[in-house]
Amino acid sequence: MDSLDSGGSSSSETQSSSYRVLVMGATSVGKTAIISQFLYDQFLPCYKPTVEEMYRGEFDIGGEKKLLLNIEDTSGTFAWDFPAMVEVSLSACDAVLLVFALDQPESLEVVGTLRDLVMKSRGPDMPLVVAANKSDLEGGGDRQEMEALVTCDWEHSYVECSAKENSNIGAVWRELLLVARGAGQLSCAGSPASMRRRKSLPAVPVFNRAAGVRVGREERRGSMAALLHRDNCKLS
């Protein structure tokens, strides 16, 4: 990814493609934190339960092409509290990001259940990435076994990351775009390596509104390349 820019206007001749990602996982594994770091370069240490929120990132992908990345953030009990809504969300999305916490082995079991729902609804060709969050923490299960389960048994992409330390966050979203392209879901030409963020909406993240935190252009990082290049991405 080339660079980040929260401003910029689009040309009427710009070719646009909209792309939707559904994010699911157990409670308190860091789903919203991963989104927050990617779009706003922020990490909130205080946990706040999510109901359901939609975020959007607007990107330039080389030349006169634009990608709108719509991210649906869900609660840890979304699949069980709103089964009908889950089916609607799955039918509308282009890729799924399942998140678990490395220090909570039981959260990987939840991911397994959610994966079964995805496979039942959309089939084995649905672009799907599993993010193992909280790589900065000790404890939990055998990480090699966890990765082997996802990559060998389930045959999905796997990325270890830390939303708190902003480690490998860019790699998570880059991998999502790559698997979507491989499945033919990403129709906009260009490469994830040449993405430039135009803006992120809402201007004030939902998870910060209560605290009155405002996100301005000067508060966002200016280089996605710096974010990705410093990540030690572990993909299988």
Task: State both tokens at 95.
Answer: 């890729």
Q: Flag whether pLDDT at 74 surpasses 70.
A: yes
Number of domains in the chain: 1
Residue 217 has a pLDDT of 34
Domain that holds residue 159: 3-230
Q: Does the residue 159 lie in any domain?
A: yes
CATH assignment of the domain containing 213: 3.40.50.300
Kindly report the pTM of this predicted structure: 0.77
Residue 123: CB atoms within 10 A of its CB come to 8
Contact assessment for residue 231 and residue 174, using Cβ atoms and an 8 Å cutoff:
no
With respect to residue 236, please indicate whether it lies within any of the assigned structural domains.
no
- Omega before residue 45 within 30° of 0, cis: no
What pLDDT, in 10s, does the model give residues 1-51?
Answer: 333 333 333 444 556 678 899 999 999 999 999 999 998 888 888 777 777
Per residue in 124-183, pLDDT (tens digit) is 999 999 999 999 998 778 999 999 999 999 999 999 999 999 999 999 998 998 998 887
Note the pLDDT of residue 48.
77
Q: Is residue 235 included in any domain, yes or no?
A: no
